[in-house]
């Protein structure tokens, strides 16, 4: 019976489909007739290993950041995986541990030119005769500025009781350093004003330069190639398929917080010192530092990663021309360190890299999307008497994951040794004014920014909307502006992240001696609160009278969010 049914079904199938004679010529028939005409196309072989899948997952995240239109949305996307902020390495400008130069170079992928001095490019900016003429014209004004700030100006109103308490426990050196910091800042302001007055007539770009006093400088990036800490190794050993990856390097978020005295900005960037292709020269060596930064007494804190070059997105003058930084903190370092020049180099490398990185982020780049053209800045570190000059060229921002060691590009830094501006001041007169300092300072000011012709400065930003202010939708623009300003303030959340106390680690987690205790904390239910995402929260409630349709009880109760 069953054999008869199968035979009948087969007969019906042949009758139904066997009479169809018209077929389209397939690729198989082509190959059969003439195999030389068509080459076979095989699908790519996918790597299904854990490393390949994880790399693909991360690359998808990087591409999402790259495809966003506005500067602020890219910053949102970087902070999206962490509601309470990334556990980041905190780098403060005036906190420099001992022997931290190799760490600063590796974390910024910076090569320091061994030969002391500025690049040869600065010798072609101005002739020797013109330089001498300008020095003689401003020399007397510089001397007057020094005498006024050190001898003539009264500072009783600046010596506040809370800042300079008359307490025997306060060391005299601290009061001296604080007063020297105030004097050096005021002197830098006056010298900058003098330089602009004398040079603006012959250098029109200085008329369009914007000056920022004590701007907010912050920069963040992800550093790779570091040795995994013990808790990461312990976790990898506990997972069967990850045991072979126990010693694989890890990434570490880095947050830099600067304290510059002054920034000078222009709408065009400075000229590159060397072409972008030359920075791949293997002779530009970068030291390695794969240890945990805690060995240098650095600390880790949970913070939202921010990139702020001293102004908000959308400002016309968005490229750095010159920055001043203070070094009076060096007087408080122990004398046994004897590393003043090394500390200055660390400060200059971190400050220059961070300022240029934050500027690059405003052009649409990030720590995951490399810059397509170099950026240059000029940095001055001084306490009013000793002056150090630095020139820094940013060629790459990729230092995460495998790029920490395999990236062929290097950032380059040129340095000068500290030079005295004057020897001493006696009877309201300056002795030993060094004209070489003034010549170098003049070269920094007359270095003309140039427009990059034929180069798209913002290749990863939108065409119509490059910043939040360009968004036409009012509700979305206002929401994102408010949330972005709240994000970069780094204020603590309304509810703090649940903490595991020591007694809980001992009695509940490690020894399990309290099985009858009621579970109350999220971590007791397997919830990892520190991995909570930025958009994982209840939106603000809208009262019924303020809704679009008050008669609908359950519609429109919560306000809209516009996370990227």
What is residue 450's predicted lDDT score, i.e. its pLDDT?
A: 95
Q: Would you say residue 33 lies in a domain?
A: no
Residue 384 lies in domain: 82-462
Q: Is the pLDDT of residue 25 over 50?
A: no
Rounded to an integer, what distance in angstroms lies between the CA atom of residue 404 and that of residue 311?
29
> What are the angstrom distances between the C-alpha of 383 and each of 179, 225, 378, 442, 540?
11, 36, 17, 18, 50
For 256, residues 6+ apart whose C-beta sits below 8 A from its C-beta are: 91, 93, 217, 218, 219, 220, 350, 354
What is residue 10's predicted lDDT score, i.e. its pLDDT?
A: 44
Residues 123 and 228 in one domain: yes
- End of a domain among 436, 462, 488? 462
Strand 375-382 to strand 319-326: parallel, antiparallel, or no bridges (unpaired)?
parallel
What is residue 163's predicted lDDT score, i.e. its pLDDT?
A: 53
**Selection from 69, 87, 62, 82 nearest residue 487 by Cα:** 82
Is-contact 161 175, C-beta < 8 A?
A: no
Q: Would you say residue 7 lies in a domain?
A: no
Q: Would you say residue 491 lies in a domain?
A: yes
Mean pLDDT of 266-284: 94
Residues 458 and 491 in one domain: no
**Percent over 90 (pLDDT), the chain:** 76
Q: What are the pLDDT digits (tens) for 477-505?
A: 999 999 999 999 999 888 888 889 999 99
Mean pLDDT of 431-437: 95
What is residue 3's predicted lDDT score, i.e. its pLDDT?
A: 45
CB neighbourhood size of 226 (10 A)? 19
Q: What are the pLDDT digits (tens) for 248-260?
A: 999 999 999 999 9
Burial status of residue 562 (CB atoms within 10 A of its CB: 0-12, 13-18, 19 or more): middle
Q: Is the pLDDT of residue 410 over 60?
A: yes
What is residue 174's predicted lDDT score, i.e. its pLDDT?
A: 74
> What are the angstrom distances between the C-alpha of 496 and each of 302, 330, 499, 527, 529?
11, 37, 8, 15, 10
Residues 336 and 439 in one domain: yes
Binned at pLDDT 50, 70 and 90, residue 92 comes out as very high
Residues 446 and 499 in one domain: no
Strand partners, 413: 112, 392
What is residue 156's predicted lDDT score, i.e. its pLDDT?
A: 63
Residues 393 and 517 in one domain: no
The torsion angles phi and psi of 27, rounded to 5 degrees, stand at -65, -30
Half-sphere exposure (CA, 13 Å, Cβ side) for 438? 23
**End-to-end Cα distance, the chain:** 65
Mean pLDDT of 44-54: 89
Q: Would you say residue 520 lies in a domain?
A: yes
Is 448 strand, coil or helix?
A: coil
Q: How many domains does the chain have?
A: 2
Whose tokens are 């995986």? That residue is: 81
CA 213 to chain centroid, in Å, comes to: 21
Binned at pLDDT 50, 70 and 90, residue 363 comes out as very high
Please give the structure tokens belonging to residue 547: 């809704």
Residues 247 and 127 in one domain: yes
Is-contact 164 175, C-beta < 8 A?
A: yes
DSSP-derived letter for residue 170 is: S
Residues 95 and 227 in one domain: yes
Of residues 10 and 376, which shows the higher confidence score?
A: 376
> What are the angstrom distances between the C-alpha of 435 and each of 205, 289, 386, 419, 427?
24, 39, 13, 10, 21
Q: Would you say residue 499 lies in a domain?
A: yes
**Selection from 339, 354, 353, 329 nearest residue 94 by Cα:** 329
Binned at pLDDT 50, 70 and 90, residue 554 comes out as confident
DSSP-derived letter for residue 272 is: P
Residues 261 and 379 in one domain: yes
What mean pLDDT value characterizes the chain?
Answer: 89
Among the ranges given (171-175, 204-208, 494-498), the one the predictor scored with the smallest mean pLDDT: 171-175
Q: Would you say residue 409 lies in a domain?
A: yes
The torsion angles phi and psi of 110, rounded to 5 degrees, stand at -115, 135
Residues 520 and 392 in one domain: no
- End of a domain among 462, 497, 531? 462
Binned at pLDDT 50, 70 and 90, residue 171 comes out as low
**H or E, element range at 377:** strand 375-382
Q: Is the pLDDT of residue 431 over 50?
A: yes
Mean pLDDT of 147-166: 68
> What are the angstrom distances between the C-alpha of 439 and each of 74, 105, 136, 271, 445?
42, 29, 10, 20, 10
For 107, residues 6+ apart whose C-beta sits below 8 A from its C-beta are: 223, 254, 289, 399
Binned at pLDDT 50, 70 and 90, residue 20 comes out as very low
Rounded to an integer, what distance in angstroms lies between the CA atom of residue 435 and that of residue 439?
6
Rounded to an integer, what distance in angstroms lies between the CA atom of residue 144 and that of residue 428?
9
What is residue 37's predicted lDDT score, i.e. its pLDDT?
A: 66
Is-contact 488 307, C-beta < 8 A?
A: no
What is residue 373's predicted lDDT score, i.e. its pLDDT?
A: 96
Cα-Cα-Cα-Cα dihedral of 63, 67, 70, 76, to 10°? -30
Binned at pLDDT 50, 70 and 90, residue 549 comes out as confident
Rounded to an integer, what distance in angstroms lies between the CA atom of residue 394 and that of residue 360?
9
Q: Would you say residue 19 lies in a domain?
A: no
Q: Is the pLDDT of residue 169 over 70?
A: no
Burial 341-372 (b: 16+ CB within 10 A, else e): ebbbbbbbbbbbbbbbbbbbbbbbbbbbbebe
Half-sphere exposure (CA, 13 Å, Cβ side) for 358? 27
- End of a domain among 430, 462, 494? 462
What is residue 6's predicted lDDT score, i.e. its pLDDT?
A: 46
Q: What are the pLDDT digits (tens) for 96-118?
A: 999 999 999 999 999 999 898 99
Residues 164 and 281 in one domain: yes
Query: Using alpha carbons only, how large is the chain's radius of gyration in Å?
Result: 31
Binned at pLDDT 50, 70 and 90, residue 335 comes out as confident
Length of the chain in terms of residues written: 564
Binned at pLDDT 50, 70 and 90, residue 421 comes out as very high
**H or E, element range at 351:** helix 340-362
Residues 479 and 359 in one domain: no
Residues 435 and 480 in one domain: no
Q: Is the pLDDT of residue 1 over 50?
A: no
Mean pLDDT of 319-329: 95
Q: Would you say residue 61 lies in a domain?
A: no
What is residue 44's predicted lDDT score, i.e. its pLDDT?
A: 86
């Amino acid at each position: 019976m069953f054999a008869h049914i199968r035979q009948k079904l087969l007969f019906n199938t042949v009758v139904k489909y066997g009479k169809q004679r018209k077929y389209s010529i397939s690729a198989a028939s082509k190959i059969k007739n003439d195999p030389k005409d068509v080459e076979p196309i095989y699908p790519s072989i996918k790597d299904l290993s854990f490393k390949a899948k994880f790399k693909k997952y991360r690359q998808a995240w990087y591409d999402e950041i790259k495809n966003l239109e506005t500067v602020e949305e890219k910053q949102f996307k970087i902070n999206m995986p962490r509601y309470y902020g990334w556990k980041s390495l905190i780098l403060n400008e005036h906190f420099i541990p001992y022997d931290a130069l190799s760490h600063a170079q590796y974390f910024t992928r910076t090569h320091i030119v061994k030969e002391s001095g500025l690049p040869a490019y600065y010798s072609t900016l101005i002739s020797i005769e013109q330089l001498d003429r300008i020095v003689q014209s401003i020399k007397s004004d510089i001397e007057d500025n020094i005498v006024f700030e050190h001898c003539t100006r009264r500072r009783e109103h600046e010596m506040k009781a809370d800042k300079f308490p008359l307490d025997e426990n306060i060391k005299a050196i601290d009061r001296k350093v604080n007063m020297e910091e105030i004097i050096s800042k005021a002197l830098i302001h006056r010298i900058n004003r003098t330089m602009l007055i004398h040079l603006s007539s012959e250098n029109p770009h200085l008329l369009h330069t914007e000056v920022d006093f004590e701007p907010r400088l912050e920069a963040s990036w992800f550093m790779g190639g570091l040795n995994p800490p013990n808790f990461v190794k312990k976790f990898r050993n506990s997972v069967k398929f990850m045991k072979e990856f126990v010693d694989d390097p890890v990434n570490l978020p880095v947050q830099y917080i600067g304290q510059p005295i002054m920034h000078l900005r222009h709408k065009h960037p400075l000229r590159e010192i060397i072409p972008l292709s030359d920075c791949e020269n293997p002779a530009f060596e970068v030291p390695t530092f794969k240890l945990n930064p805690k060995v240098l007494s650095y600390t880790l804190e949970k913070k939202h990663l921010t990139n702020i070059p001293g102004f908000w997105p959308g400002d016309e003058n968005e490229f750095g021309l010159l920055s001043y930084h203070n070094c009076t903190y060096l007087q408080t370092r122990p004398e046994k360190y004897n590393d003043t020049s090394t500390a200055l180099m660390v400060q200059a490398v971190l400050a220059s890299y961070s300022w240029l990185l934050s500027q690059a982020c405003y052009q649409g780049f990030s720590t995951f999307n490399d810059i397509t053209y170099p950026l240059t800045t000029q940095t001055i570190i001084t306490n009013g008497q000793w002056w150090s000059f630095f020139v820094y060229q940013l060629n790459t921002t990729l230092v995460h994951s495998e790029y920490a060691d395999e990236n062929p590009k290097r950032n380059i830094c040129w340095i000068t040794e500290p030079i005295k501006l004057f020897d001493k001041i006696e009877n309201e007169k300056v002795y030993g004014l060094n004209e070489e300092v003034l010549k170098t300072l003049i070269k920094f000011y007359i270095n003309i920014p140039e427009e990059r012709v034929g180069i798209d400065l913002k290749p990863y930003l939108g065409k119509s909307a490059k910043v939040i202010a360009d968004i036409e939708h009012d509700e979305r623009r206002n929401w994102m502006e408010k949330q972005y300003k709240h994000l970069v303030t780094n204020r603590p959340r309304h509810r703090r992240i649940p903490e595991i106390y020591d007694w809980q680690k001992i009695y509940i987690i490690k020894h399990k001696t309290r099985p009858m205790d009621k579970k109350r904390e999220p971590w007791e239910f397997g919830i990892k609160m520190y991995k909570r995402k930025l958009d994982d929260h209840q939106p603000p409630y809208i009262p019924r009278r303020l809704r679009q349709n008050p008669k609908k009880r359950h519609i429109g109760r919560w306000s809209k969010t516009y996370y990227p």
